[in-house]
Structure 1
Amino acid sequence: MCCSRQGETSERRLKSCGSATRPFCTKSRSAAWTGEGAISGQEAPMPRQNALREEEIRMEMERDRILIADGDKSLLLYLRDAVGRLGYQAFCADTGDKAVQLAKTLKPAVVLLDLNLPGKDGLETLQEIKRTAPDSYVVMMSGNSLARAVVTSLKLGAMDFLHKPFDQEELAATIGKQMDRRVLQGEARALRERIQRKEEFRRLFQNSEKMKQVQAVVEQVADTDITVLIQGESGTGKELVAKAICSLSVRRDQPFLKVNCAALPEPLLESEMFGYEKGAFTGADSRKPGKFEQADGGTIFLDEISEMAPPLQAKLLQVLQDKQFCHLGGKEDIQVDVRVIAATNQDLGKAVAEGRFREDLFYRLNVVNIRVPPLRERKEEIPVLVEYFLSRYAQEFKRKVPRLSQGLLELFQRYDWPGNVRELENIIKKVVILGSDAPVLQELKNKCGRQDQSGPQPAPEGQRPNSSEGLDLKAYIREAIRRAEREVISRVLQRTCWNRKKAAELLQISYKALLYKIKETGLGA
């Protein structure tokens, strides 16, 4: 067969095994030299279909990539042809260094790796591939049936061992077995993710009456295609609610893509959402599909929708009305079937009244409105969230689960949590990393003290001027001003759900000045 060094014999065996392909070998690929010692599989041109998105094609190609590493270039050609006959893309390297580089770049499904590569040997190459492409399944090849080499390679992470010479049926069976393993691994990963999502949703909805009411609405609207507007302060879990809607819908197995409308300036946000044609602007060297195109058949989550500029609001309205849009620089309309879920921490009704948000778009989005209550309105959830975050970050950072003092747990119930669940998560993360709750305890005491103050108060004992040195009136005034500033800034930030840009406008100061004040007064701690 293909791994014999006798050219005619190998060619005859390859031809005779042409009918020995398995059912999973359905795609015919071609391969071409791309440089010294490397062969790259190339896709035949494929007509664009709405049902087969470019992202799906990319993922499909990645699943079908097989890297072959062998020092014998003529043998590489035979193996390339054999792998091509089985329906996969073949990428080849004749040295260990080239194999490691290709594995890092391509992330192939399977690597066929010769034990006796020139330069860096097969075992050393195996170790580096497992570091750079841990999800790739490596099958070692060798003409020497040394038990020690087989055992060592399996210990280092190889999944199988092929003894040369082998025929195409054996090659097909070995590759097929690794592909089956990948499928099972993918199914197991998907199952773990589903279980994790269920646990997240249980934590989100089952520990307070207000969130159970949210769950009831989610279950009613999930299996429909109506748009949903989720409102709530930053850090309350709006994205988890959106994912819960998607997971209960008929689109659960289709893409769920998130777009943060506040993270990008208008031109970049437009190209990110709607895509562009080659030459649409400087740097547009190739056609790129947008998020709506990639989410076709699935769900798109538009976070911070209130930050979207008016021109983009008009384009989004067209998608909601007609289910079509046009690329930047494009002339043809693209039809999509996408469910839209939007979220905001702002009062969109007020934004409409102030002319900052289109009224027609508001009514298109606000078919069903779900309000996620802030953590201060559902403090009964705090013990469950604390336990979850302690366990999660102790495992992530490989630390022991610290024991929290009763004093800290009481402060958790007393504090108003302007940053909501995200703020609680960050505090628990800090406790786990430091291994003690003492620094957090003092920090939270200070926050609760400032929270309880209704106006300027005398400075704490340690900050008061020494009476033996005389009363420093200016120091008292400075302290009173600082506390008053902190109180006003805190109230405005809470009113705007910690939208610093909006808060700066209401306070009539610059954005940089507000950031400085937040740091100076300890609000960002």
Structure 2
Amino acid sequence: MEQVDLENVWNVCFESMLIINREGQIKKANRSALRLFELSSKTLGETSVFELIPLEYQKFLMTTDEMTGISLSFGTKELLMNIVPFNDRFLLIIKDITQQQLLKYKLQQATEQKFLYDSILDMLEEGVCAINMEGKILFYNKKMGEVDLREPDSVKQKLFREAFPDIDEHSTILLKTLRLSKSLNYRETHFTNSGKAITTLSKSKTLNIGSKQVGAVEILKDITEQKQLEETIRNFKNDPVRENTYKSKNKNNNTRFQFKDIVFTSRVMRQTVDQARRAARTSSSTLIIGDTGTGKELFAQSIHNHSPRKNFPFIAQNCAALPEHLLEGLLFGTSVGSFTGAIDREGLIEQAHSGTLLLDEINSMGINLQAKLLRFLQEKTIQRLGAKKSIDVDVRVIATINEDPYAAIENGRLREDLFYRLSVVNIIIQPLKKRKEDIPVLIDHFLQKHSERLQIKVDKVESEVMDIFLNYEWPGNIRELEHTIEGCINMLDGENAIAYHHLSATFQARANEYAQITAGRDIPKLSLLSGGSLEEQKEKLERTLIQLALEEENGNVTRAGKLLGISRQNLNYKLKKYDLSQM
């Protein structure tokens, strides 16, 4: 057997090793130790280890136990020492960790710096998502999570396909940029669970180090409020009705819709349209109740165009689009001196004289302004801001609300007295999820409308997509359906039918979420909830209790309301909401 030369092993070790006696005299040192401490092998026996390290380490030589991980410094070097006792001597094994400590310090600095940058990016109004060439998500800030309904920590360091398994990789701007190596821009409108429309503008770019592409980044901006404000200002500036008082009949009454434009096939929608036609015959105040996107303004315009006021102005104002102090001046007008820079200007109420004023989202109007509106409805006169003179105005007011009015009253968003004044006529528009038989005819209508406008021929949607549309809950209602169809048509590339990959990435994800929820309802263990979601079950129970109360009181609404603990007006609202006939 070949003999191992231990002397060579001793000298080629990276660690510095010293053999000393109990007095600290160095008896032997390997080459690494000679270099570290700048020693000479000739004078080695005359050197004490305590000339190299502090005397305080002498205490470690008083024990017979092995010692490890002892930190010490030598000049600018950081060392780590182990002491191994044997017989009456000690083996000191010393490792130079200066470079490691330096790297550790730099890593700590980099970590702190990354945390600082992450914190700054989390404060941005824009959403930011960055991926590497493998599609791993390197960064994803809070704003992006708010838009995507994702917790940032749940997607970071995951592959994009794993973090968003329901999204078609051909539909997302970020993966397209990675694949095509070019910048892209994309504008999209999607809808929250409450039906609120969110409009975003996305820009994606490649990430490069020198000429080498290392990933891609998407920067997303929520422009919903900006879009609403721009539309309000643009409509106000460009609207001839708001610039000129109607002094005589005018064929152009600032409307686009009539009852013939309402697309439906369901029985419940036919009843609603018939009710609205009857309401058009009078000038009574009307409250239109319906979720966001159900077409409340379409009904309001149709009522105006079939009323005796059809040749006079129709003016609409979204109460959520402007702050209360601006909305007050816009509605009631201003006079010189009412505030700095104020001029004599008619308000929308005056401009709608002899016609119709639509107040959209009345529950977004401030309570104080609601009180002033109530006085106008009672007295039929207004005062411009800063003026003393009252002006008689003949205007029919139609208001819309996107929630249960009684809930709005209870939560302080709607004055009860204003509600009763506005709701002389109540029209309730059912959400699309409760009249899904209307979906196919609406799809056909939007296909024709947008294919003609965009000059893109499209005949139909594929059966797979139609199934998705019919099973989707449509929180944004008809507006969301139209946006979805229009977006798909924009994605067509020579095809004449809308397929799954034409759907936006956001819609794909939300549709899959709804599909999973629906599938979950069919699990046998959840048989109690097999009839629908909690909200749907509550509505069914409420409907049943109302029917039982009416039967108990022989159809008397007042007594049935008392039995249920609600007012007669509230019960009448629910009878209309659930399409229940009084006995």
TM-score by length of 2: 0.44
Determine which structure has the larger helix proportion and give its number: 1
Specify the structure having the higher radius of gyration (Cα): 2
- Going by fraction, where is strand more abundant, 1 or 2? 2
